Every structure is written in C-alpha cells, then in structure tokens.
Amino acid sequence: MKHYDYLIVGSGLFGSTFAYRAHKIGKKCLVIDKRPHLGGNVYCEKIEGINVHKYGAHIFHTSNKKVWDFVNSIVEFNRYTNSPIAYYKGKFYNLPFNMNTFYQLWGVKTPAEAHAKIEEQKSIAMTQMNAEGITEPRNLEEQARILIGNDIYESLIKGYTEKQWGRKCSELPAFIIKRLPVRFIFDNNYFNDCYQGIPIGGYNQLINGLLDGVETRTGINFFENRTQWEKIANKIVFTGKIDEFYDYQFGKLEYRTVRFEEEVLETTNYQGNAVVNYTERDIPYTRIIEHKHFEMFGLEIEKFPKTVITKEFSTEWKDGMEPYYPINDEKNNTLYRKYENLAKKEKNTIFGGRLAEYKYYDMHKIIEEVLNIDI
C-alpha cells in the first residue's frame, strides 16, 4: 500500500495549487520542500512589520477572471498597481514606455509628436542597417533600435539588459526583444491585465490557504533519499529542475540567477516607489525594491518608522546557486526537449512549473495551468 496519492516535490505556486485541488477532492497528499519554509519563490519574511519578498518582487496580474476569483477565494488581494520607475544618469523615467516617458526624454506633449520622434529614430536605424547590407536584425541591439529608436534603447534598455543577461546586447539574440510595449497615452500601469494586486498580509497567506489541511515537510531534499520517496505515493508531482530529475544524463541546463542585498533603513520612505530600475551599465544592481510600498499606501507608510529595501544583482548561475531564469536560447531549448521527451513517457509523474518545464512563468499562468489539469 502506498501512503499517499500524491507526493508533491516543491511548495511553490504550482505544487501548492495542485495540492489544494487534490486535497479538495479527497486525495491524500504530502508536500516536501528542500527549503526551510513553504512557498517557493513567493515566500515573504516579516521584517520590521513589513512583508519582504525574499526571492524578488512578485506582483500578481491576470485577465483570467477564473484565476483571479480563485486566488481571491483563498485570500483577498489589495489594489497595488505596478508602476516601476527607471533611473538613468540622475533622472527618473516612467515605465513602461508611455507619454510620460516621451515627455521626460524629449519634451513632446502630444501622441503625434511622440510618434513622429520614434518613427524618425527608427528610420535612422533602418537606414544605417541597410547601408551595411543588413536586412534582418542579427542581435538584440539592432532589433531594439528598429523597434524604438536610439534614445530609448541607450538610456532605458541597453545597460539594464546587459546587466540582466551578463552579455552585451550585440551578443544577445534578437528574439529576446521582438516586441516592446509602447503606449501613446499617459499611463504608468505596467501591466495591461484587468486584475492585479498583492495578497493582503503577504504571499504566505496565499500559500498557507492553499496548503490548509495538507501534510507538509520542509528541509527535505527529494534526491537525498529518492528511492524512499518514490515508494510512498501513487504519483509524483515534480516542480524542480527537470535535468536533475534525470540525473543530468544529457547535460545541464543553464540559468541566470539573482543575488539579493537586503537593508533595513532608519526612514519611513526611501525611494517613494516599490520598484526602481537602474538602467546604467556602471551601476551594478538592476533594481531596488522597497517592500513597504507593495502593501502600504498613503499615510499608512508613515506608521512604520523603518523601511526595508533589496538591491538585486543579476548573476551567472553555477552549481549550488538558486536557478531563476531559464536561458531559452537554441542550445538550451534543444537540450530541454530531450528531457521533455523522457518526461512525456512518465506515467506516474507530473512535471510543472518554471524549472520542470524550463520556461519563465508569470504566476497567473502557473495557476491557470494547474486549474486545467485533470487530477
């Protein structure tokens, strides 16, 4: 007799949502996680009364009402709207690229003026490429210039992207930046989705609600006693690295990772915004997160005498580091497909999430996928 219907390896959004659905229909589940806490990368730690996103900022957004209603049935979400700001050479610019950004860059005041300026710069970039006999963009730099022009590329894209990927834009594939959001309206809302927000009380409230009544164990590494864990359940839900599951038999997939530097500051309000991107190449971190602004608004900010900020440094991934962003270039995608073919043959293992499927997932897409699984 197996002890459980499902052994769920990983307590992030995929594993926790799967456990919730299985538990609701009477399935016996065990969720294990190698970290000392539940929640995967959405885990928050309470510091100075502030919910700190320990593994980077997470903002929930979706246009899928079914997904939005589902997460709000677990915990109510607040009204947070993501409106990041870019800092470049002593000046601030609104994101995403919109009329506020164009006014800050060029002083243009109408959509027609902004459109004309962008088209002028795009035309210059195309003319330069044609003069060199280039018919299609060969890299990210050329792609960005013909999409948005030189000014925005140089000030708001180039340095940030090179820090994010650890490579020059001229060495990155063009497909990474095939589309750029451009709005000819004064609108700093980063997302186009109908719904967005943060769980009131932090993401731990969402995870705790999803795992309510489900048996969980933390500090457990599935691979340290794999044979034992595979024996205790009828099926496994695996959310870790797919190449590790298959003992790296075809080789190791590559990632980018992030290093975090966290500080508690003796001020009520450090930067006035949750997210500020630093787009200069010479500034080593990509952005600063001030966690207070995700859940505190207006005068509420002043009630807490301190604030917590996190500087994020994009880093080349090595063994032992936490994998964050899959590098979906041709080499890695070809390698992943080999592992994917093995996974398709598994009858008693379900693979899900960004590591098991080797692709970047927004949170709502993870939940949407789990809601559509036949459990």
How many other CB atoms are found less than 10 A from the CB of residue 223?
13
Query: Is the CB of residue 280 less than 8 Å from the CB of residue 343?
Result: no
Q: Which of 35, 183, 195, 358 is catalytic?
A: 183
Q: Over 80: is that where the pLDDT of 1 sits?
A: no
pLDDT > 90? residue 82: yes
Residues 250 and 336 in one domain: yes
* Known active-site residue 33: no
Catalytic residue list contains 374: no
Does position 194 have pLDDT exceeding 70, yes or no?
A: yes
Q: Is the pLDDT of residue 141 over 70?
A: yes
List pLDDT tens digits, range 206-240: 999 999 999 999 999 999 999 999 999 999 999 99
Total tally of structural domains belonging to the chain: 2
Give the whole-number percent of the chain exceeding pLDDT 70. 100
- Here the CATH number for the domain that contains residue 17 is 3.40.50.720
| 12 closest CA partner among 30, 28, 33 | 33
92 shares its domain with 74: no
Cβ pair 251, 364 in contact under 8 A: no
Whether residue 184 is predicted with pLDDT greater than 70 in this model: the reply is yes
For the entire predicted model, the pTM comes to 0.93
- Residues 106 and 144 placed together within one structural domain of the fold: yes
Active-site hit among 287, 295, 354, 357: 287
Whether residues 35 and 68 share a domain: the answer is: yes
Average pLDDT score, the chain: 96
Confirm whether 289 is domain-assigned. Answer: no
Query: Are 62 and 210 within one domain?
Result: yes
Average pLDDT of the residues in 356-368: 96
Q: Are residues 90 and 73 in the same domain?
A: no
Based on the residue annotation, tell me whether 167 is a catalytic residue of this protein: no
**Parent domain of 90:** 85-177
- Catalytic option among 179, 224, 247, 319: 179
At 87-129, the pLDDT tens digits run: 999 999 999 999 999 999 999 999 999 999 999 999 999 999 9
- Stated as kind and residue range, the H or E segment containing 278 is strand 275-278
- Annotation says 138 is catalytic: no
Report cis status (omega within 30 of 0) of the bond before 199.
no
The torsion angle over the Cα atoms of residues 174, 176, 178 and 180, rounded to 10 degrees, is -130
Q: Report the C-alpha gap between 146 and 149 in whole angstroms.
A: 6
Mark whether 248 and 334 lie in a shared domain: yes
Structural domain contains residue 259: no
Residues 20 and 113 in one domain: no
* Annotated catalytic residue within 254, 312, 324, 357: 312
Residue 74, H or E segment: helix 65-74
**16 and 65 fall within a common domain:** yes
Residues 110 and 248 both lie in one domain: no
Single out the catalytic residue among 45, 167, 244, 256: 256
Q: Are residues 108 and 236 in the same domain?
A: no
| Active site (annotated) includes residue 360 | yes
SS3 371: helix
Q: Could you tell me if 115 and 249 lie in one domain?
A: no
Helices and strands, counts by H and E, the chain: 13, 16
Which of the four pLDDT bands, split at 50, 70 and 90, describes residue 281?
A: very high
Residue 243 has pLDDT above 80, yes or no: yes
- State yes or no: is 21 an active-site residue: no
pLDDT at 357: 98
Tell me, what's the pLDDT at 93?
98
Q: How confident is the model at residue 179 (pLDDT cuts 50, 70, 90)?
A: confident
Kindly tell me if the per-residue pLDDT of 33 is higher than 80: yes
Is 256 an annotated catalytic residue? yes
